[in-house]
Every structure is written in structure tokens, then in C-alpha cells.
Amino acid sequence: GQFLGRDDAALDRFEDAGQLALRYSAVEGDGCSQPYNPNGAVRDVAGMCDRSGRVLGLMPHPERFIDRTQHPQWTRRPKFDEGDGLQLFRNAVQYFS
């Protein structure tokens, strides 16, 4: 999936409301392209939330990498205990607890 907005005005409203919750980011800073924004999402948006901040629509899918065996190179990489995606869920639980 690729994030698209209806128009710039709608995107501005979401941004002003703090609803564009997560963005793809290049190591260097602002704005990015392949491979940092893998699907070409508008304004580099990777996740958007509702007004309450409790409902999050997200691309990519961190739930696909919570266990090391879910990584496509898990047999060739140095051993690690868990996938990076699990931290996103831990952060959410901590934030709302």
C-alpha cells in the first residue's frame, strides 16, 4: 500500500492535527526516496492515526517482524532474540498505560 491524500488541503489538515504519526526517513534527515520510502508514499507518510491517537493505520507491517525467524535472512544473520517490529507495540502499550 501507498499513502495518498485526497488533496494538499486535506493532507495539511491531517498534518496540523498531528495525525500523520509516522514517516519514512532517510538517515540524512528530511525527505526521502527509495529505499527509505519504499512505496513512494506522499509526504513520506508511513502511518496515520485518528483524532484520538488510539487508532493507527500503518504501512509497513511491524507485526511481520516480531520474531527473528520472520526475517528473510534469519538463518544467515547473527543470532538475535526478537525482531525490530516488537518495539513499536511495546512503545504503544507503554504510552497508553
Q: What is the pLDDT of residue 19?
A: 96
Q: Of 51, 46, 31, 36, give the one whose Cα is nearest residue 1.
A: 46
What is the arrangement of strands in the sheet containing 56-58, beginning at the earlier edge strand?
22-23, 45-49, 56-58
Percent of the chain clearing pLDDT 90 (strictly above):
30
Whole-model pTM: value is 0.70
DSSP state of 29: B
pLDDT digits (tens, 9 = 90+) for 21-42: 988 887 776 667 778 888 889 9
